[in-house]
Amino acid sequence: MGGGRERILETAYELFSRHGTRGVGVDRIVAEAGTAKMTLYRNFASKEELIVAFLDAREQRWTRGWLQAEVEARAEAPAERLLAIFDVFGEWFERDDFEGCSFINVMLELDDRTDVARAASVQHLANIREFLGALAAEAGAEDPDAFARQWHILMKGSIVAAAEGDAQAAARAQELGRLLLNARGLPSARRSETIGADAARAD
């Protein structure tokens, strides 16, 4: 039974990531998973429960296993890690399988604010802000939560812009991020190096 559950969740993961949750029905999931509908409902009480499981898996793979891991591998200083998010995004946006943010997609697909799956997507977005808030606190931000919300707006906006076809979405967001860091008195090492290089040229 465990194998059936994993197969269904893996299939749902691929379909929901690429086509959204509203456009993918249970019949398609079981057909592509090669299982019976009864097997799906034995493991997931409803499609809503399957969506919640998908979002949990998405957080483990996308938020923790990919974004956070990549950011932490690319930079040491917290401000640099914040900026590195957009380096990672820039590579993601160029991929043929760029699918956008599933948490945003599910939240917008489900307009009922009491929906369990919608609430789960909102929570997963909050978890991303928690990561950002921790970096902001380490960088010395006076109000880490407010800073994290501003940074998250840059992230979400760049994802939407990339989906529109803006090839420079990540670079534009990173530039705005540097402005925000400087405005909050949290200059990044990269920015400091640039200023130093400019000063050296001036001499």
Are residues 107 and 40 both part of a single domain? Answer: no
Per-residue pLDDT of 85-111, as tens digits, reads: 999 999 999 999 999 999 999 999 998
Question: Residue 71: exposed, middle, or buried by beta-carbon count in 10 A (0-12, 13-18, 19+)?
Answer: buried
Residue 50 within any structural domain of the chain: no
Are residues 60 and 24 both part of a single domain? Answer: no
Query: 192 φ, ψ to 5°?
Result: -60, -40
Structure tokens at 55: 């979002």
Are residues 92 and 127 both part of a single domain? Answer: yes
* Residue 188 near residue 77, CB atoms below 8 Å: yes
Q: What stretches of 75-115 show up as alpha helix (H) in DSSP?
A: 78-94, 102-109
Are residues 84 and 142 both part of a single domain? Answer: yes
Are residues 39 and 130 both part of a single domain? Answer: no
Return the pLDDT at 199. 38
Residue 128 within any structural domain of the chain: yes
CATH assignment at residue 137: 1.10.357.10
What band does 3 get if pLDDT is binned at 50, 70 and 90? confident
Per-residue pLDDT of 164-173, as tens digits, reads: 999 999 999 9
CATH assignment at residue 24: 1.10.10.60
Q: How many domains does the chain have?
A: 2
pTM: 0.89
Cα separation of 21 and 51, whole Å?
7
Cα separation of 38 and 52, whole Å?
19
Return the pLDDT at 183. 96
Are residues 100 and 177 both part of a single domain? Answer: yes
What range defines the domain where residue 193 resides? 55-202
* Residue 127 near residue 59, CB atoms below 8 Å: yes
In which region does residue 140 sit, left (phi positive, over 0), alpha (psi from -120 to 50) or beta (all else)?
left
Are residues 66 and 111 both part of a single domain? Answer: yes
Residue 104 within any structural domain of the chain: yes
